[in-house]
Amino acid sequence: MNHKSEYKTLVLGASTKPSRYSNIASLRLIKMGYPVIPVGIKEGQIGTLEIKTEQKQFDDIHTISMYLSTENQKPMYDFILSLKPKRIIFNPGSENMELAALAKKSNIEILHACTLVLLSTGQYELSKAAMDGSLH
């Protein structure tokens, strides 16, 4: 079994627009062999994947890669926390201290980072603790 399947990623704020970072990150994750579930406001496709528009239960989510503004995240708090991800990556522009605090209470790791940078530097599978340790 491919170990990358352990890192199933839900891209929240997925867009069909090729210029959007959520679109670029989804395609890069797919290309690198990670399972991706794009969730967005509008239906459409990213590559061969259908963008989901419902807040339904998805199983075995390791990472939520966040591309929504704080205001658009607020009505989704319960949905996000119900997925029980191991971590949430707050991409630039999606930082949300309130959700980060709620997630930490649920033992969800928080990264303020860029999914694309993590992928390009080989750090996507590292935990925050591993990254912090590698900087010393």
pLDDT at 136 over 50: no
Domain boundaries along the sequence of the chain: 3-134
Res. 62 pLDDT band, cuts 50 70 90: very high
Rounded CA-CA distance 31/104 in Å is 30
Report whether pLDDT(134) > 80: no
pLDDT number for residue 43: 95
Q: Kindly tell me the burial class for residue 2, based on how many C-beta atoms sit within 10 Å of its own C-beta (0-12, 13-18, 19 or more).
A: exposed
Q: Give the CATH H-level superfamily of domain 3-134.
A: NAD(P)-binding Rossmann-like Domain (3.40.50.720)
* Residue with tokens 């080989």, as numbered in its chain: 122
- Examine the pLDDT at 133 and tell me if it is beyond 80: no
63-82 pLDDT tens trace: 999 999 999 999 999 999 99
> What torsion, rounded to 10 degrees, do the Cα atoms 22, 25, 110, 129 define?
-170
pLDDT digits (tens, 9 = 90+) for 81-127: 999 999 999 999 999 999 999 999 999 999 999 999 999 999 999 88
At 123 the pLDDT is 95
Q: 31 - beta bridge partners?
A: none
Phi/psi for 7 (5° steps) reads -110, 45
Confidence of residue 128 (pLDDT cuts 50, 70, 90): confident
